[in-house]
Structure 1
Amino acid sequence: MFRDLSRPIETGMPTYPGDPDVTLAPDATHEADGYATGELRAGTHAGTHVDAPRHTVPDGEAVDERAVGSFAFDARLVDLRPLEPRESVDPDALPDPSALDRDTDLLVLRTGWASHWGSERYRDHPYLTAAAAERCRAAGVGVGLDAFGPDPTPTAGGSGESAESGDETVASHGDELEPDGTPAHDVLLGGSLPIVENLRGLEGLPERFRLYAFPLRLRGGDGSPVRAVAEWE
């Protein structure tokens, strides 16, 4: 069986705060030109996408420098629900590295935040602590998520004074927590491990499946939108 786990690319779709807006518009039309073409403007991290190490590691690999086969993953679904807004995911919430077979190379984390896509609450997704990311790195597995990413996402206009939360340093903005840096990204991408973000349709998937997330061949790209597809028997 196959299932599309990708977000549709469309004008006005949600983007990570500060990233370019997405527009998809007609260029040529059948009525005016006798054929149809469109113009797409989007950032490299629009919609469902993969992060290349270069995203947060200055000398890391670009998306086009990785073997195409490295974007076909033997995935294991980890259902972390229920989780509170901006709740940290600690190492003990993830499988012990010794319990992972050698074929597993991606943990797909179901936080439940896919249901908030298109609303401001989507920003308030749970996130991995640096220690949880280190656990993944020790096991040699990357991470896929149904959220903006493995680190906290800024709130709308968030800013404030520093405060401590678990083993992450964040800034306080009212009752919200603002990120300081990208520790989970840095750990995973620093270990040349994949990150797949903004997945959808994780409900009902088996614990083990194959995930295909092939990027565009962007020269020197720090990431790329993908058509993420799950396959299982």
Structure 2
Amino acid sequence: MKVIDLTHIINEKMPVYPGTDTPKLTPVNTYKKDGFKETFLQMYTHTGTHVDPPAHIYEGKKTLDEFSIDQFIGKALVIDCRMLKEGEPITMENLKVYGEKTDMADFLLFNLGWDKRWGSDEYFGDYPCIDDEVMDYILKGNYKGIGFDVMGLDPIADENLTRHKKLFENCDIINIENLTNLEQCGDELFWFGCFPLKIENCDGSPIRAVAWFN
């Protein structure tokens, strides 16, 4: 079985959403002093490769811990959008080349190639985002989730979070951000998992996103 890690590593120097703090990994027990190692971890729930539920945007909507565990596993398809220029929208033309495979997937994962900019100022640039037609297509489908190798579903400049609001307003779906290595997944359906921490009333969580092929 072939397995691909689609997750960025968490460290104190990683990129984070503007206005939030980087993670803190503070040693509290050491081999020399205590005979074991333990670290105090402090970070935002939307750090690194992570997943958003509807409760990220709307009070009273579904939290991550309220989803069934099978929400986070299924068949995925990578939509290659690396040909798009900065600020250019992701349109239905980018999906149509995959034919009926888009309807067979539980997750649509959009590869912008932006993960190659991880760790640089370019990562915070004007990355392509899905347009209204693609959003409507997703909302009419039976998808468990969508995902991207960029900082957000919305452009960083959109403080209104327009796409987040439309995605979560009437749909119990998850949104995954800051994926990596999507180019290794090919253009066929594959197994995908994106399991969050099981935190009470959870508005978001880092995940270990993984693709595997039998």
**Do both share a fold (TM > 0.5)?**
yes
What is the deviation of 1:230?
Answer: 0.4
| Matching residue of 2:185 | 205
What does 1:49-88 align with in structure 2 at a 5 Å threshold? 49-88=50-89
**Deviation per CA, 1:171-203, whole angstroms, max 9, x where unpaired?**
xxxxxxx31411221222231122111111112
Q: Give the percent of matched residue pairs that are identical in Structure 1 and Structure 2.
A: 32
Q: Which residue of 1 aligns with 2:131?
A: 129
Question: How far off its partner does 1:102 sit?
Answer: 5.4
Aligned pair partner of 1:150 in 147, 150, 153: 153
Runs of 5+ in structure 2 lacking a partner? none
Please say if residues 102 and 108 of structure 2, whose CA atoms lie closer than 8 Å, have aligned partners that are also in contact: no
Q: 2:141 aligns with which of 130, 139, 161?
A: 139
1:13 and 2:34 are equivalent in the alignment: no
> CA RMSD, aligned part only?
1.9
Q: In structure 1, how many angstroms separate the alpha carbons of the residues matched to 2:62 and 2:29?
A: 36
CA distance in 1, matches of 2:44, 2:108: 25
Q: What does residue 181 of structure 1 align with?
A: 160
Q: Which has the higher strand share?
A: 1
Measure the CA separation in 2 of the matches of 1:101 and 1:198.
Answer: 21
What is the CA–CA distance in structure 1 between the aligned matches of 2:96 and 2:19, rounded to whole Å? 33
Structure 1 length-normalised TM = 0.83
| 1:128 alignment partner AA | I
Q: Aligned partners of 2:101 and 2:168: how far apart in 1?
A: 20
Are the structure 2 counterparts of residues 108 and 145 from structure 1 closer, same or farther at C-alpha, using a change threshold of 3 Å? same
1:103 deviation in Å? 4.0
Deviation at 1:93, TM superposition (A): 2.6
Q: In 2, are the aligned partners of 1:97 and 1:139 still within 8 Å (CA)?
A: no
Shift of 1:100: 4.3
1:114 matched residue in structure 2: 115
Which residue of 2 is the match for residue 215 of structure 1?
196
Q: Is the 8 A contact 2:53 2:174 kept in 1?
A: yes
Deviation at 1:140, TM superposition (A): 2.5
Show the counterpart of 2:48. Answer: 47
Q: Give CA deviations for 1:57-90 in whole Å, capped at 9, x if unaligned.
A: 2221011010111100210111012122222223
CA contact (8 A) 1:12 1:23 kept: no
Q: Using a 3 Å threshold, how does the CA distance of structure 1 residues 97 and 117 change in structure 2: closer, same or farther?
A: closer
1:28 paired residue number: 29
Cα–Cα, structure 1 residues 75 and 186, in superposed 2: closer, same or farther, change >3 Å?
same
1:196 aligns with 2:196: no
Return the offset for 1:98: 7.8
Change (3 A) 1:131 1:186: farther
Q: Write the letter of the residue equivalent to 1:198.
A: N
Is the Cα contact below 8 Å between 1:7 and 1:199 reproduced in 2? yes
1:96 deviation in Å? 8.7
Partner of 1:174: none
Unaligned segments of structure 1, at least 5 residues: 154-177
- Residue 12 of structure 1 aligns with an amino acid whose one-letter code is K
Greater share of residues in helix:
2
